Amino acid sequence: MPSLYAYRSQWFGNVRGDILAGLVVALALIPEAIAFSIIAGVDPRVGLYASFSIAVVTAFAGGRPGMISAATAATAVLMVTLVRDHGLEYLLAATVLAGMLQMGAGYLRLGSLMRFVSRSVMTGFVNALAILIFMAQLPELIGVPALTYVMVAAGLAIIYLFPRITTAIPSPLICILVLTAVSIGFGFDLRTVGDMGELPSTLPVFLLPDVPFTLETLLIILPYSAAIAAVGLLESLMTAAIVDELTDTPSDKNRECIGQGVANFFTGFIGGMAGCAMIGQSMINVKSGGRGRLSTFVAGVFLLFLIVVLGEWVKQIPMAALVAVMIMVSIGTFSWSSIKQLRTHPRSSSIVMLATVICVVATHNLAIGVLVGVLLSGIFFAWKIAQLLRVTSSLSEDGTHRTYVVEGQVFFASADQFSAAFDFKEALEQVTIDVSRAHIWDISSVAALDMIVLKFRREGADVEIVGLNAASETIVDRLAVHDKPGAMDSVLGH
């Protein structure tokens, strides 16, 4: 937990910037929350209430100041079957359970697993999200009046040129206000936020999910809750890492897990669907000057104010204005330098990055892309470390004693190479295996060592292992069988 001074700074260290950024984010949240509700097959108010609740709760409980969490597509797609087969009430129960699972993950400190995500996976994740954000705008750009393109172009011009005049007000906010005023003033016939779905006109109320509290209900919602919890945490932790880098500030990943869980837990009791961190909205927040918890809180509160109090005005915001903002986010999110680096970075790093992008874009599932990237990173790393193994040997003057010196890491990927380095047909009386410059890591390497020792003994040589470090000695003592009765028959017999 941060100190009281640090926590206060996270709230009030950037008041003006956080408030203005929060206003921009709130406006951009509305069409997305409605769209994600439609994806999940529920009423738009379910996504809107969720976005309000999750943003406000994570502002207090989250571990990454300035990050925006709300209803997302990543979690919405996981709810479709549950809603179709069992209805909204089961979705609310699944949301509560997903929150509990995420809180458990935080208390188990699973957020620390983020250190196993390589830089290449992060770059692929960012690039894939940039592509997905742009692709999500295509329905608003295909088969629309020519005036829509003019408005989008004007919006982009405002976003990129207005900062040359002043940076006191975020240019995306100016874009939304100006295009809305122009659209209303000239009576343009354009698609608006109101065309996305009906906005709620009342505040959310506390309610218990109307489901039977039975084992059968638990078995129905548990698979969905587990998937929502896992995907939500993965996207939230990846987004937190990106915001860390953009703002050059650290975050508490385990606290973020707990914060996401608390947010989803309470959201299920006000009729909202589960959500997680949003890379697009977080990028809007950061690029609009948002840095602290206040920006997330303002985004949530102002979102509720917009839909309940100013709903009639919000309905008139042209989608072209929001499309311009999201295109700006897409362009700013993509790591353009990664294209140039394809020629200079190691081939394995480029493959990991490209595989992550392709899997995410092909499946529209961030979790699958990241898991593929992490798996490939692990495979390439293991292969690279396995190549560093070296075994050299020297023969005594009388030709009866050979000493093998092992250098490097002996584990599952290098065990075969380790075994192949020994000549078992050489007529020797004594063999010394010096592993003082090596490390025995796993059961595969211990099994290889067993086989080497027993093969030499079968040929009549006396084998001695020297130089085991403390960790290697521990695993060899526990798992090795070459000094146990019947080892020759049990190992060489298979």
Look at residue 179 in the predicted model and tell me its pLDDT: 93
Look at residue 330 in the predicted model and tell me its pLDDT: 82
Cα 395 from chain centroid? Answer: 54
Q: Residue 458 CB: number of other CB atoms within 10 A?
A: 11
Look at residue 492 in the predicted model and tell me its pLDDT: 55
Look at residue 86 in the predicted model and tell me its pLDDT: 92
Over the stretch 228-252, which tens digit does the pLDDT of each residue have? 998 888 889 888 988 998 888 989 9
Please tell me the distance from the alpha carbon of residue 220 to that of residue 459, in angstroms, as a whole number: 61
- Residues in the chain, pLDDT under 50: none
Name which of 266, 257, 262 is nearest 209 in CA terms.
Answer: 266
Please tell me the distance from the alpha carbon of residue 293 to that of residue 8, in angstroms, as a whole number: 10
CB-neighbour burial class of residue 487 (10 A; exposed 0-12, middle 13-18, buried 19+): middle
Please tell me the distance from the alpha carbon of residue 269 to that of residue 211, in angstroms, as a whole number: 12
Over the stretch 97-136, which tens digit does the pLDDT of each residue have? 999 999 999 999 888 877 778 888 888 888 887 888 788 8
- Residue 299 tokens, joined: 């985004």
Look at residue 493 in the predicted model and tell me its pLDDT: 56
Decide if 93 contacts 301 (C-beta within 8 A): no
Query: Which residues pair with residue 465 across a beta bridge?
Result: 433
Decide if 25 contacts 281 (C-beta within 8 A): yes
Decide if 119 contacts 350 (C-beta within 8 A): no
Decide if 403 contacts 464 (C-beta within 8 A): no
